[in-house]
Amino acid sequence: MANLSFAPVDELWQRVGEPAGRLPVRPYFRRIGAVPPSRSSYPTQILHMVDRIVLASGSGIRATLLRNAGLSFDVDTPRVDEEAIRDAMVAEDAPARDVADTLADAKAAKVAGRHPDAVVIGCDQVLDHRGRILSKPRTPDDAVAQLRELSGERHMLLSAVVAYADGRPVWRHVGDVRMAMRPLSDGYIKEYVTRNWDSIRGSVGSYKLEEEGARLFTEVRGDYFTVLGLPLLDLLSYLVLRGTLSA
């Protein structure tokens, strides 16, 4: 039998706020005609028990972040046509925030059907530069072109995370970080891409802040984990509130 413990709801509300209070979850509730959970809809105590966690992502850095935070989880990489979803939404002038959220949701939904007993976590990240969405570079030339575009400019990273349980979305969050890139010479950009291509080929914007990419920036405003592609603190707070994790 699972070990059970109790934690006061008021204390958890103070830590994480209302779980449905971050966009785009309220529009989601409006779409399905349901009422978002409110503080008064919860009992005075929350029952804590362990859920199985599945990460719907093949990202090594996301898995490392969860593992370093002490989580035990399985990985099930979804097969989703990200490019088709992104291109369709861009063609409709969808905001970057909605694109990131939709992609994260699609990945979680794809895997949730295979793991109805688990909390499934889907993630995605997009880059917004002056309203244009940049994705992962396909070639070194793409990476050079992206860095030329971002050089001396400000842009925003948006990292979305969606949790599914019992085959339906139960929580979502989109974190954003403002980035200021220093002016880069064309020679340095080409050398940087040549040295780091194997690492940055899977990164939107063609850089990794946790590696040599730190040299590209003069300012980063926001959460470091969100830069890496996972709003880790928000996710952990939700899992604690849910009772999946103890704290």
Active site residues: 124
84 contact partners, CB below 8 Å, separation of at least 6: none
Terminal Cα distance for the chain, rounded: 20
Element (H, E) at 5: strand 5-8
Element (H, E) at 48: strand 45-48
69 contact partners, CB below 8 Å, separation of at least 6: 232, 236
Strand locations in the chain, DSSP E? 5-8, 45-48, 52-56, 74-75, 118-129, 132-134, 154-165, 168-181, 217-221
